[in-house]
Amino acid sequence: MKIKKGFTIVELLISLAIMSVLITILAQLFASILSLRQKSETVSAIAQDSRYILLRLSYDLARSDSIVSPAAGASGSTLSLMIGGTSYIYSESGGVLSLSVGGGSPSILNSPSTTLSNFNFTGNQAIGGNASIGLSFTIDPTSQQINGAPVSRQVSTTLVSRKPS
């Protein structure tokens, strides 16, 4: 009797089934890694933008000669400071925070991957003789999350000038 070399149809079907299970597992793993990466980038962008906005406002307020608006007790989405005789105007419109220095063209302070809402500056009474501003806003991602609700961050703080009011 002659012995034939090769695979039987049953052996081929078993190996095909094992390979398809492995490919399915790897595809699901890859999809979950991509989803986790997107969520991580979104959380990072929100943290970076909120930290940058707070640091920039703190820096400019600390070196400001005076707070033009809002006055104590007033609030709005615009902050106007005088620094060395130059006006610095922070304003929020359409989810974007911009800074206009000396009447020049505005610079956008948040990244394209985030939007701001409920932006509010409140003029507070002087703290220890120094002018202070209350600040609150919500920062959201521009992209939608694949799994779960979008991540957003609410920021509320008081910033104090280093110079007496």
Give the domain ranges of the chain.
44-164
- The residue ranking higher by pLDDT, 7 or 51, is 51
Tallying the residues shown for the chain, one arrives at 165
Closest CA to 84 of 107, 101, 108, 105: 101
Degrees (nearest 5) of the Cα angle 131, 154, 92?
A: 65
Distance CA 90, CA 2 (A): 89
Q: How far apart are the first and last CA of the chain?
A: 107
pTM, two decimal places: 0.77
Return the DSSP state at 158.
E
Specify the 3-state DSSP secondary structure of 146: coil
Give the pLDDT confidence score for residue 67 in this predicted structure: 87
pLDDT at position 28 is 96
What mean pLDDT value characterizes the chain? 87
